[in-house]
Homo-oligomer: A and B are copies of this chain.
Amino acid sequence: MITTIAFDADDTLWHTERIFISTKDKYKQLLADYHDGDWIERHLDETETNNIKHFGYGIKGFTLSMIETACELSEGRITGDKIKQIIEFAREMIAAPIEVLEGVRETIEELSKDYRLMVITKGDLLDQETKLARSGLGDYFDGFEIVPRKDAKIYKYVMRRHALSPEEFLMVGNSLKSDILPVIEAGARAVFVPYETEWFHERVTDEELIGKKFGRIEKMSELSDWLKNEENRI
């Protein structure tokens, strides 16, 4: 029976992708003299994909990719002032107000009465910690785990660390690749809550989903009902 519910953070509890999307828009405007927006975005995505193994996830790595792409697309003609503006984008992203997703606060508050709640997220520790604090949700969570990646081994490690059996663990998140499939592989249950946009690093193929059993809700406020269904819970 489920005793513990773990939530992904970015785009599950609060909006993150929006901040990246609006930063990308500003970035494309900044470089509009050199190339059109689509071309810039395609190159930025490529640089980001190549850099993830060096720089990991998060705003700082993304910023280094923006700078690198700017140097490349301008064939080295980018000005120092524009580079400084890109660094300013990073500071703005880090300081951006946290917008909690609709229905999240009420759901978390309600579930915290009956379940142990945790956050399991990738990203920079400092960044995620201040986001949790600024979200005002911090007090509802008993555990906060920043993980370098989300695979079955990591989920098993987190469960072991909190002395949880897979039967009592439920993961909730917006990424099939990170929040759902590896949790099923680790023997626990998962509920998928799609976000308004899908992150291109996190796509999975239909084949990977064949035979995989997991819950799916359209928004967080449906989670309480999902848990009231005894078939899901026990």
Residues of A whose CB lies within 8 Å of any CB of B are 54-56, 60-61, 63-64, 67-68, 70-72, 74-81, 83-84, 87, 90-91, 94-95, 124-127, 129, 146-148
Copies in the complex: 2
Q: Quick check: B90 and A64 within 8 Å, CB to CB?
A: yes
Q: Which of B67, B81, B90, B129 contacts A87, CB < 8 Å?
A: B67
Q: Beyond A63-B64, A64-B64, is A76–B80 a contact (Cβ under 8 Å)?
A: yes
A54-B91, A76-B84 provided; 8 other pairs, C-beta below 8 A?
A56-B125, A56-B127, A67-B83, A72-B80, A74-B80, A78-B83, A125-B148, A126-B148
What 10 A-B pairs have minimum CB-CB distances, sorted nearest first?
A76-B80, A71-B80, A56-B126, A60-B60, A78-B80, A126-B148, A76-B81, A71-B84, A54-B91, A125-B148
Known contacts A79-B76, A146-B146, A148-B129; A87 and B64 CB within 8 A of each other: yes
